[in-house]
Amino acid sequence: MKLLECKNVNKRFGRKEVLKNVNLTIPKGKIIGLLGPNGSGKTTLIKLINGLLEPNSGEILVKGEKVGTKSKKIISYLPERSYVDFNMKVKELIKYFSDFYDNFDSDKAYKLLDRLNINADDKLTTMSKGMKEKVGLIMVMSRKADLYILDEPIGGVDPATRDYILDTILTNFNEGASIIISTHLIADIEKILDEVIFIKEGTIYLTGDADKLRTKKGKSIDEIFREEFKC
Amino acid sequence: MKWTFDNDRPIYIQLVEQLKLFIISGILTPGQRLASVRELAMEAKVNPNTMQKALSELEDLKLIYTKRTSGKFVTEDDKLISKYKKALALEKANGYLQDMQKIGFNQTEAINFLKEDRK
């Protein structure tokens, strides 16, 4: 069965059309790059899939069912901006997640945090931006989900942190699950992508197998992106 | 094992090349058991699907084989390994001759150049 399907999805904010007739299918067991410049509609699409926004028309199906309580159980979502209360301690955050999600693995979260030498009694407010991003990612990857959606997980962090984040994504996703990673920093992640989706001005511009695209164009995904989206 | 990639060529092809080289050069020895797909993927920092694809290709080339319950192993067929080694050596040698031709050495000159004192 298809994991995720978007059928003729349209979204407007006032008179502005943010997504135009988006059709997409996401299969199981793939890592997919949702690639597009700023303002192309990546985050809006992600919010629709997570049920934080409603489409004006069209349909989004997760495992054949409309977005709702059920789909939220099987999608683990890392938003672009964190929604957690930074006054919490790490252990409170873990408690919060395990209360919320049946599929949250606290042991795994503690193990991953331990590796970063993060103390469970540390408050999030005391942490650097990069460290907060790592904690956020650990929370999301500690769920046994069918679909992980990571909105700009590597934006604004240093290269070492970027490596850590990519490593954590690769080592921790549930087998058989799919991952959608939205970003405009393509060179850093293209090595791990199975498939790419290029989105431009709210329209799906190009989709395909990353290695096949490299063969066809003789270029890296990053170079193809730079060409297609030349300003 | 050290892994490096260019982003402008298919990753799975580069994985095949590098694994082949590990076998030819003896970093992976005949009969050696390979780590799991997932472990190898983590090591190379690539997608497990891509690693799987590369391993299937190596299996088609008979450089590795699968034992149903215990995993994947490097071939014990020394002749086959030498065959691939020779093919790769030929490719490198031809590459050298072509490069030398570009700067004005004919084949004999290029070969003699290797034998001469190159300091």
Chain-chain contact of B45 with A191 (C-beta, under 8 angstroms): yes
> In this model, does residue A21 exceed pLDDT 90?
yes
| pLDDT, tens digit (0-9, with 9 covering 90-100), for B16-54 | 999 999 999 999 999 999 999 989 998 998 999 999 999
Comparing alpha-carbon positions, the chain B residue that sits nearest to A193 is B47
Q: What is the mean pLDDT of residues A118-147?
A: 91
Q: In chain B, whose CA is at the least distance from the CA of A32?
A: B47
Record the tokens describing residue A53, joined without a space: 């926004």
Q: Give CA–CA dist B80/B88, Å, rounded.
A: 12
Residue ranges covered by each domain of chain A: 4-228
Closest to A181 (Cα-Cα) out of A158, A149, A208, A222: A149
Q: What stretches of chain B show up as alpha helix (H) in DSSP?
A: 11-24, 37-44, 48-60, 78-102, 107-115
Q: Does ipTM surpass 0.85 in this model?
A: no
A121: closest CA of chain B, how far (Å): 31
Share of chain B above pLDDT 90, in %: 80
Name the average pLDDT for chain A: 92
Is the CATH code 3.40.50.300 the one for domain A4-228? yes
Contact with chain B for residue A70, Cβ under 8 A? no
Torsion angles phi and psi, residue A167, rounded to 5: -60, -45
Task: List the CATH code of the domain at B11-76.
Answer: 1.10.10.10
Furthest CA-CA distance within chain A: 52
Query: Cβ(A210)–Cβ(A33) under 8 Å?
Result: yes
Interface contact flag, A170 B5, Cβ < 8 Å:
no
- Chain A residue numbers with beta carbons less than 8 Å from the beta carbon of B38 are 175
Residues 74-133, chain A, touching B (beta carbon < 8 A): none
Contact A170 B45 (CB under 8 A): yes
**Residue A216 touches partner B, C-beta closer than 8 Å:** no
